[in-house]
Chains A and B, each alone.
Chain A
Amino acid sequence: NAGVMQNPRHLVRRRGQEARLRCSPVKGHSHVYWYRQLPEEGLKFMVYLQKENIIDESGMPKERFSAEFPKEGPSILRIQQVVRGDSAAYFCASSQGQMNTEAFFGQGTRLTVV
């Protein structure tokens, strides 16, 4: 049973470049969540998606950040024109979307902006 797969595990980008983070959910899961973890801080919710729909994006910065979860393929978190403050670990979780079912987390993508 493959868990949540995130890639790349590590990503280095220069300021101003674009970062694309990919998340393949657990097989059969149709709900995906993205969280960001800054050093010495807990996980902060960014966005919750179902297939082809954004359910809750209340944690997403208004500019430069976008997320999608297409009908086919992984969920993508895109950060345009990255800045040093975007350096963090980005975690994806997936669930079946039912109230009392666990959301499984991936291993994260560590983004470093130089």
Chain B
Amino acid sequence: QKEVEQDPGPLSVPEGAIVSLNCTYSNSAFQYFMWYRQYSRKGPELLMYTYSSGNKEDGRFTAQVDKSSKYISLFIRDSQPSDSATYLCAMSVRGFGNEKLTFGTGTRLTIIP
């Protein structure tokens, strides 16, 4: 069993729709949860991070963490064609600046104009 499971998609939704991306994990020691966006042939860029359980909102993006279920989500509201990319969840135990990250496989998202 992988430490982090993520549906690879692909996921296609019409422009303006709400997108829900999810990951599950098995390591209860994870405390830092991140979402990265990766455009084709580019490096990942950090979208949002959350420490422990709870919600965090940044513009059209909302990250949720449910540690009791070992389940994290990223919601994208009013999706735009420019949101088309691969979205990777990542996790770590102590932080994300001084230790390794464990990534999901990524979900390929396409927003249809």
Distance in angstroms between the alpha carbons of A102 and B43 in the assembled complex:
14
B97: nearest residue on chain A (CB-CB)?
A: A101
Distance from B27 Cβ to chain A, minimum over Cβ atoms (Å): 13
Cβ A99 vs Cβ B43 within 8 A: no
Which of A12-20, A41-49, A63-71, A80-88 sits within the interface? A41-49
Distance in angstroms between the alpha carbons of A98 and B44 in the assembled complex:
20
Q: A42-B6, A42-B106, A99-B94 are in contact. Are A105 and B100 (CB under 8 A)?
A: no
Q: How many residues of A contact B (CB 8 A)?
A: 29
- Main SS class of interface, B: loop
A102: nearest residue on chain B (CB-CB)?
A: B46
Question: When A and B form their complex, what is the total count of cross-chain residue pairs whose Cβ atoms lie within 8 Å?
Answer: 72
* Chain A residues in the interface with B (C-beta under 8 A): 4, 31, 33, 35, 40-45, 48, 56, 58-59, 91, 93, 95-103, 105-108
Task: List 19 interface pairs A-B (beta carbons < 8 Å), by A numbering.
Answer: A4-B43, A33-B101, A42-B4, A42-B88, A42-B104, A42-B105, A45-B100, A45-B102, A91-B43, A93-B43, A95-B98, A98-B95, A98-B98, A99-B95, A99-B96, A102-B96, A103-B46, A103-B96, A103-B97
* Chain B residues in the interface with A (C-beta under 8 A): 4, 6, 8, 41-46, 51, 88, 90, 94-106
